């Protein structure tokens, strides 16, 4: 049986990866930021020597997309240098690495879903730092590094769009939501499932896209949440991105293609609506 190590285990995705590993009977060491700072070379080395993992899932990241614009060096410290330290430790110990990345590595202006092999061209500081992490993994672990890009995550464990909409449904008569950004709402438990399937497989190293199938806009996503709450979907009103200027521009197209899973013998995540319906009861936000 493999020994799994999860970094960033206190985050929204990290917690669900650990839950799924434990549910599936795997042996896993869950390290939160307090347990292991991935920017601390000596700490990373000590963690690997002490535990000797077979598979590492790097969920640790600077995820504050807007703040990264003014603090790119700090974001790079975690997403670029930290990822490189984890990849180097894997290379030095023969552990395989599953590194979590993002649609923000793309420019977001394509008129079709991005494939795993499409050119990257990040337009935000966050995207640049995440791409640096990807490149470190590809360089140091050409035969044993997996880059799992995801997007539009929601889960029971962290702040996210579903939680925000549930709160707004309770407190506002109408809610304006952008209708010109396209993506695939994705449940963290589904990403965790793909990660575990990948770790258990003999899949070729490389890039995999762990997002739900299908696509919608934030407006479509919000309407579906209102529908599941039994609320009037007419209370959700479409607006353009211009209504919500942000320091980091949001991609117009975050839709990712899922072709690589076939080479791994793993099914992609099913449609976003089905999974939102199935996951909704477990998203028990206070």
List contacts with ligand NAP (CB under 6 A). 7-8, 10-14, 33, 36-39, 59-63, 78, 82, 100, 102, 130, 150-153, 158
How many Cα neighbours within 13 Å face the side chain of 135? 13
Query: Rounded to the nearest 5°, which phi and psi values hold at 183?
Result: -165, -170
Q: Closer CB to ligand NAP, residue 128 or residue 130?
A: 130
Q: Where are the beta strands (DSSP E) in the chain?
A: 3-7, 27-31, 55-58, 96-102, 145-150, 153-154, 175-178, 182-183, 186-187, 206-209, 216-217, 236-239
Q: Which is nearer to ligand NAP, 10 or 199 (CB)?
A: 10
Nearer to ligand NAP, 60 or 175 (CB): 60
- Selecting among 104, 114, 126, 146, the annotated active-site residue is 126
Is 126 an annotated catalytic residue? yes
CA nearest neighbour of 2 among 43, 38, 49, 52: 52
CB of 273 to ligand NAP, least distance (A): 18
Minimum CB–partner distance for residue 239 and ligand NAP (Å): 21
Q: Report the residue number, 77 or 238, with the smaller CB distance to ligand NAP.
A: 77
- Beta-strand ranges (E) seen in 69-144 are 96-102
Q: Please report how close the Cβ of residue 197 comes to ligand NAP at its closest, in angstroms.
A: 17
Pair 36, 45: CB distance under 8 Å: no
Smallest gap, in angstroms, from Cβ of residue 78 to ligand NAP? 4
Ranked by CB distance to ligand NAP, the top (closest) residue is: 11
Catalytic residue list: 126
């Amino acid at each position: 049986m493999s020994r799994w190590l999860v970094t960033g285990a206190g985050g929204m995705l990290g917690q669900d990866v650990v839950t799924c590993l434990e549910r599936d009977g795997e042996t896993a060491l869950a390290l939160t930021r307090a347990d292991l700072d991935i920017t601390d070379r000596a700490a990373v080395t000590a963690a690997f020597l002490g535990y000797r993992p077979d598979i590492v899932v790097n969920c640790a990241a600077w995820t504050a997309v807007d703040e990264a614009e003014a603090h790119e060096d700090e974001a790079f410290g975690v997403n670029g240098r930290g990822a490189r330290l984890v990849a180097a430790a894997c290379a030095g110990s023969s552990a395989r690495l599953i590194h979590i990345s993002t649609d923000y590595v793309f420019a977001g202006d394509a008129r079709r879903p991005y494939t795993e092999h499409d050119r990257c061209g990040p337009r935000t500081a966050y995207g640049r730092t995440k791409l640096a992490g990807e490149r470190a993994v590809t360089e140091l672990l050409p035969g044993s590094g997996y880059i799992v890009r995801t997007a539009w995550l929601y889960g029971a464990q962290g702040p996210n769009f579903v939680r925000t909409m549930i709160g707004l449904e309770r407190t506002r008569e109408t809610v304006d939501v952008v209708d010109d950004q396209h993506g695939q709402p994705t449940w963290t438990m589904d990403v965790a499932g793909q990660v575990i399937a990948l770790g258990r497989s003999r899949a070729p190293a490389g890039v995999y896209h762990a997002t739900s199938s299908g696509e919608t806009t934030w407006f479509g996503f919000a309407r579906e949440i209102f529908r599941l709450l039994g609320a009037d979907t007419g209370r959700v009103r479409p607006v353009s991105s211009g209504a919500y200027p942000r320091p980091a521009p949001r991609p117009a197209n975050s839709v990712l293609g899922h072709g690589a899973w076939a080479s791994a013998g793993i099914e992609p995540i099913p449609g976003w609506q089905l999974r939102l319906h199935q996951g909704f009861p477990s998203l028990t936000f206070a």
